[in-house]
């Protein structure tokens, strides 16, 4: 392990590889305990999370549902509940995966907010978008979608006096692969510190179907590149990112991409600058 690998892994509080099945189960228990303690500490009883159809929201959603079920059983208070939110932009091309995720999660409550009108209404008021070339405009609007989705989730959470869950984990954090104040904004991030294969391992242990566990990850924010794989955007595979974060050898090219991207996206992982 290089010094930079060790430094970055420590900064992201990366969880070591699961030694065995017992370690995996222990980590699941720890994550549920974290979620439950966040609710207890806040004095609130509702959790909210947008479900996209990817393995990250699927895993965080199922952990949230299991956590509130345990809280209800432990406290006798039926007010604890989890609200899963669908946030499509128009018609989502992989809506069947999102619905399959919802079937697996079995949330207490489901809410659907189509963000297309909000994104369109805002973009029509933004003269700054007009001179942009199509690719740049598409990228900017992709970030608008992520931020509108988080506005919707916080609105639902506010309406029900709840907390918003985020799905960020170490393999995305190291690449800055989230929208600042978009999907990077939340009250608690129960997958933090895990690498991608650990998220998948947890999902599989919880009983998620393989087609969702091993689905090609995509943020799916760009109209010109629908379903664009995360790994294409990264320039490296999640397998290489996971290996890097766990101190294992990666190619020189992958090492350089990961370190450079981590350094360039540092501002995303910090609070606003102050004097």
Q: Would residue 63 be called left, alpha or beta, if left means φ above 0 and alpha means ψ between -120 and 50 degrees?
A: alpha
State the residue for tokens 């079995």.
Answer: 106
Please give the positions annotated as active site: 56, 172
Cα–Cα distance, 68 to 32 (Å, whole number): 9
Length of the chain: 275
């Amino acid at each position: 392990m290089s010094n930079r690998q060790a430094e970055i892994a420590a900064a992201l509080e990366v969880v070591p590889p699961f030694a065995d099945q017992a370690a995996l189960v222990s980590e699941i228990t720890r994550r549920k305990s974290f979620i439950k303690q966040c609710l207890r500490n806040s004095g609130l009883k509702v959790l909210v999370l947008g479900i996209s159809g990817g393995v990250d929201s699927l895993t965080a959603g199922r952990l949230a549902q299991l956590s509130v079920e345990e809280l209800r059983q432990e406290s006798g208070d039926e007010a604890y509940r989890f609200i899963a939110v669908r946030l499509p932009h128009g018609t989502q091309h992989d809506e069947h995966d999102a619905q399959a995720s919802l079937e697996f999660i079995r949330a207490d409550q489901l809410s659907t907010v189509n963000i297309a009108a909000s994104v369109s209404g805002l973009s029509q008021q933004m003269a700054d978008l007009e001179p942009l070339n199509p690719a740049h405009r598409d990228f900017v609007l992709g970030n608008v979608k992520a931020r509108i989705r988080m506005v919707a989730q916080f609105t639902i959470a506010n309406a029900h006096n709840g907390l918003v869950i985020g799905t960020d984990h170490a393999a995305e954090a190291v690449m800055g692969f989230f929208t600042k104040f978009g999907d990077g904004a939340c009250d608690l991030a129960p997958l933090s510190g895990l690498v991608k294969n650990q998220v998948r391992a947890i999902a599989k242990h919880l009983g998620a179907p393989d087609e969702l566990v091993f689905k090609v990850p995509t943020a799916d924010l760009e109209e010109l590149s629908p379903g664009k794989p995360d790994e294409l955007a990264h320039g490296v595979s999640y397998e290489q990112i996971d290996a890097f974060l766990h101190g294992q050898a990666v190619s020189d090219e992958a090492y350089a991409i990961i370190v450079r991207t981590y350094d360039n996206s540092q501002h995303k992982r910090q609070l606003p600058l102050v004097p």
